[in-house]
Amino acid sequence: MELPFRYILTVSELTREIKDILEDRFPDIWVEGEISNLRIPPSGHIYLILKDEHSQIRAVLFKMQSRSLRFVPEDGLHVICRGRVTLYEKRGDYQLILEGMEPKGIGALQLAFLQLKEKLEKEGFFDTSRKKPIPTLPQTIGIVTSPTGAVIQDMIQIIQRRFENVRLLLYPVRVQGEGAAVEIAEAIRYLNKRGNVDVIIVGRGGGSLEDLWAFNEEEVARAIFHSKIPVISAVGHETDYTISDFVADLRAPTPSAAAELVVRDKRELSRNLNRLTTILENQMTQYSQDLKTSLAHLKKGLIDPRKMIGDHLLRVDDLVNHSRRLLQWNVTRKKEKRGFLTERLNLQSPFQRIRNMETSLSEAKKWLAQNMRYKIQINKQNLKGILGKLDSLSPLAILQRGYSITRKLPSLKILRDSDEVMVGDQVEVRLHRGILSCSVDGKGRP
């Protein structure tokens, strides 16, 4: 039996067939999903995974296409992508080759604005401590804006009307479109290099977010931040806020307002100067009058030198007399003190101290003899009293009164009861004088 013919494909052929089918079927599609596993290698290409609740697909945005992005992709961001489906033959994985990307729910420009604002705020670009003061009366004002249009004309008219002597230096730039941010940043750096500019105004008229976008670029923000000259940002209308407004040393709600803020009205300055001049003149007049009054008062206090000399001579005589009395008093005091010290020295003499000690010793001996006799007499009397008490308590004194002490033999136990002996026992009877040895012949009770 003959086997049927089989067409066998290689892996490469099968992969290529599938690739052709996918690319023909999905040449231009829109895909919505959440970014994860975002990776940007040194090549500048953006590799990521788009996913939803149930599936995921690899995607790549090449460097050339990524340059057109207005925002920075990041993990967790929900985006809508435009691209085509292809298959990477070496791994057999299908993926999306992206041509564009935009965030869902918020515009790309608005997201880019928020991302850059957060980044620069973390770097300290908005700190009020680093903002430079605007000079009160600048001599040269640098203006970075478009040379055409009503903005520059309004600013010139307002500044010249308020203070016509101020010098204006215009650096013409594009204020919107491709390359505008580069020109604005270069203008700020150029005016810093000149070194004769006191303040810089960067601005333009109102417009949409896209029209104002040049003032939201990071390059412009860094140029303002590193400017050594104070920068006023005057972009759009009062309700418009750009990154340059946050970084600048002063934000003006409009370009016309910036022109009014940067210089004060010359007439107002003149009035203030006249007012201050009047105040200064009045103060100087008052100060001069006070000096004259003080001088007149000092003149009244001046004394004739001859009178002063006479007073000083009298004062000298008084001091001499006082010194003499003080000297005499001191001499007397010294003599008294010397006599006192001599007397004390004599008392402290060894011979005198020996004599004093001999006298004290003699008196102590007398006192000791008297005290000892007194003590002996007292002790004798106390001893007699104690002996009397002892005699009254002594058993011998009791025996002298006719009593006796009976002890049982041979134990010599003192007997207090007739029951303690038996008839025939031997006892010893102690009398006041002498001892009797007896035998018990009988017992009885009184």
Q: Average of pLDDT values for 411-425?
A: 81
Q: Whole-model pTM?
A: 0.46
Residue 191's pLDDT band (cuts 50, 70, 90): very high
| Alpha carbons 228 and 188: distance in angstroms, whole number | 10
Sorted by where each begins, the domain ranges of the chain are 11-105, 125-264, 399-439
Asked if the model's pLDDT at residue 270 lies above 70, the reply is no
Per-residue pLDDT tens digits for 360-376: 888 888 888 888 888 88
**Mean pLDDT score, 149-176:** 85
pLDDT tens string 321-375: 888 888 888 888 888 888 888 777 776 677 777 877 888 888 888 888 888 888 8
The per-residue pLDDT for 182 is 92
237 in Cβ contact with 291 (< 8 Å): no
DSSP notation for 62-96: -HHHHTT-SS---TT-EEEEEEEEEEETTTTEEEE
Per-residue pLDDT reduced to its tens digit, 86-100 = 888 888 888 898 888
In this predicted structure, the answer to whether residue 108 has a pLDDT above a threshold of 90 is no
User: Which fold would CATH assign to domain 11-105?
Assistant: OB fold (Dihydrolipoamide Acetyltransferase, E2P) (2.40.50)
Look at 445 and 241; give whichever has higher pLDDT. Answer: 241
CATH number for the region 125-264 comes to 3.40.50.261
Taking the C-alpha atoms of residue 257 and residue 254, their distance in angstroms, rounded to an integer, is: 5
Interval 41-62 mean pLDDT:
88
Distance separating alpha carbons of residues 326 and 405, to the nearest angstrom? 101
SS3 of 382-446: HHHHHHHHHHHHCHHHHHHCCCCEEEECCCCEECCCHHHCCCCCEEEEECCCCEEEEECCCCCCC
pLDDT of 80 strictly over 90? no
pLDDT bucket at 185, cuts 50 / 70 / 90:
very high
pLDDT of residue 269: 65
pLDDT band at 212 (very low <50, low <70, confident <90, very high): confident
pLDDT for 446 equals: 65
pLDDT of res. 322: 85
**Greater pLDDT, 302 or 118:** 118
